Amino acid sequence: MSPSSRRRPIEARPCYIYGVVGGDCPHEFEARGLGGEPVRVVRHGDLAALISPAPPAGYPATQPNVVAHELVIEEAMRICPVLPMRFGVVAPNPRAVRDSFFRPRLVELRRLLARVAGKVELGLKVYWPEQLVFQEIVAENAELRALRDSLRSRPAKQTTAERVRLGQMVEADLLAKRERDAERILAALQPLAGDLELGKITAEMMVLNAAFLVDLERQGEFDEAMTKLHRQLGRRLIFKYLGPLPPYSFVNITLEVRR
């Protein structure tokens, strides 16, 4: 930030926004924000925004900046419920946060804050080991197995239609197997969560991409259920379990202000 920007009164300077908290959240935080700036709150009624001074153009999405953003939110989470903002939100000044963000949306923000109060996000991505899942498909489908075997000694040019059909059969079996495995996992975990968000399947070997909103009091129970699933299915499934996390998957708030 330029020296001239630092000399401007803090109420006139652009501010970076980390998230929204209840109005009883502390005024200052130990964690330093982006650019090493101190983090403070802008209060409006019973809500507050976590902010720090920022250059007008904001900050690039470098790893140190993203980490600084997350550390502020994580510190706030240890104290009070937080509605996290996505990285990179900058307002012209604190007054714009009050006038253009809080005032028109108080009811919505209060509702969202109540939704995540006392809860954390737990993320889960599940994958098949590629070789193993195809072995299962072949072992479970006699028709597919017979077609595969019949193609081994025949030239590819003479068996185009059969090979297309084989690929279609494998794809159909993968879809059915994904649905069965995902349902089994969700049956064990969803009753322990207050809410669930299913993300996109981003890879052929991905079985499940899910985020669970879980009461802090039930996090231990959820962890135990994950351990049990790993014991039961860990030979044929790869579990990537993350958390506790800020509830990004359950909060979608943006800031639109007139500059």
Model confidence pLDDT, tens digit, residues 18-67: 999 886 676 667 778 898 998 888 888 888 889 999 998 889 999 999 99
Cα-flanking dihedrals φ and ψ of residue 159, to 5°? -130, 30
Work out the number of other CB atoms within 10 angstroms of the CB of residue 87: 16
What is the average pLDDT across 216-232? Answer: 94
What does the alpha-carbon distance between residue 77 and residue 245 come to, in Å, rounded to a whole number? 9
Number of neighbours of residue 97 by Cβ within 10 angstroms: 23
The HSE-up count of residue 63 (CA atoms within 13 Å, CB side) is 0
Domain with CATH 3.30.70 in the chain: 120-248
Give the pLDDT mean for 141-169. 78
One-letter identity of residue 20: V
How far is Cα of residue 236 from the mean position of the Cα atoms in its chain? 25
Is the CATH code 1.25.40 the one for domain 120-248? no
Mean residue pLDDT across the chain: 85
Quote the pLDDT of residue 256: 60
Q: Residue 54's closest CA among 99, 2, 119? A: 2
